Amino acid sequence: MSTPLVQADEAPNPPRRGLRKGVYLVPSAFTAANIGMGFFAVMASLRGFQWLAGAEPNFAAAQAHFDNAAMAIGGAVFFDMLDGRIARMTKTTTEIGIQLDSIADVVSFGLAPALLAYVWGYGASLAEGSNLHRLAWFISFMYLMCGAFRLARFNVQSSRPRILAEGTIKVDKKSFVGLPIPVAGGLIAAIVHFTPAPLVTLGPDRARIYSVLLMLLVGTLSVMMVSTLRFSSFKTVGTGSRSMRTIILVLAVLMLILLYSQYVLLGIVLAYIFHGLLSRVVGMIWRRGESADTKIEANPVSRSGD
Q: Could you tell me the CATH number of the domain that includes residue 210?
A: 1.20.120
Predicted confidence at residue 65, as pLDDT, reads 96
Write down the pLDDT at residue 292. Answer: 57
Domain contains 16: no
Examine residue 281 and state whether it is found in any structural domain, yes or no: no
276 and 231 in contact (C-beta within 8 Å)?
yes
Query: What's the burial of 216, exposed, middle or buried (CB within 10 Å: 0-12/13-18/19+)?
Result: exposed
In a domain, 153, yes or no: yes
Question: What pLDDT sits at residue 240?
Answer: 52
In a domain, 282, yes or no: no
Q: Is the residue at 13 inside a domain?
A: no
CB-based contact 124:49 (threshold 8 Å): yes
The sign of the dihedral angle between the CA atoms of 257, 260, 261, 262 is negative
Name the domain count of the chain.
1
Note if the pTM is more than 0.75: yes
Q: Please classify residue 227 by burial: count the beta carbons closer than 10 Å to its beta carbon, then call 0-12 exposed, 13-18 middle and 19+ buried.
A: middle
Is 244 within the bounds of a domain? Answer: no
CA dihedral (158, 161, 164, 168) positive or negative: positive
Q: Looking at the domain assignment, is residue 250 inside a domain?
A: no
Which segments in the chain show pLDDT lower than 50? 1-3, 5-11, 13-16, 19, 162-166, 169, 302-306
The phi, psi pair for 10, rounded to 5°, reads -75, 145
What is the C-alpha to C-alpha distance for residues 198 and 126, in angstroms, rounded to an integer? 12
Residue 121 belongs to domain spanning: 21-235
The confidence score (pLDDT) of residue 123 equals 86
- The answer as to whether 165 is a domain residue is yes
Question: In this predicted structure, what is the pLDDT of residue 53?
Answer: 81
Residue 244, pLDDT score: 74
